Amino acid sequence: MAKPQIRKIDEDSSIPPEDKFQYRLQAVVPKSKAARVVEIFPATADNYPKAIAQLKDRFGREDLLVQIYVWDLLPMVMKYAVSGRATTDLPSLYGELESKIRALESYIKKYEVLTEQAKKAINILRENGFTDPNDPVSE
């Protein structure tokens, strides 16, 4: 079950909490850390908010997700900087970087925080002559 669907279920006041609990149990990956957190609580209406709070405490750290995305970007950029243009599949690198940066931007927009590491990654690419052919600024 996708995150937006889960959020809709969580926010729907017409669904009883014990039913929401069952949806949540079905939504987590079996035997995952999240599943173990949810399964600790008996599936009752009273325990549903406790289970959700526990999940948010354990896995809802948006600031950590931003750090993970940034740390995931840096090795790709450094590999390009070291190996150079001749040995790098630039379209593949650009596609990978673009998808990771867009994912990072979703968190940045949500919290209006632009990390310096992401800016540095983009600047390293530009300094090494890599430009997006669709970007009018880089022409």
CA distance 100 to 87: 21
CA distance 76 to 118: 12
**Model confidence at 14: pLDDT above 90:** yes
Place 24 in a pLDDT band, splitting at 50, 70 and 90. confident
The full DSSP string for 21-39 is HHHHHHHSPTTSHHHHHHH
Q: Is the dihedral of CA 31, 32, 38, 41 positive or negative?
A: positive
In terms of Cα–Cα distance, which of 27, 105, 31 is closest to 73?
Answer: 105
DSSP letter at 3 equals H
Place 39 in a pLDDT band, splitting at 50, 70 and 90. very high
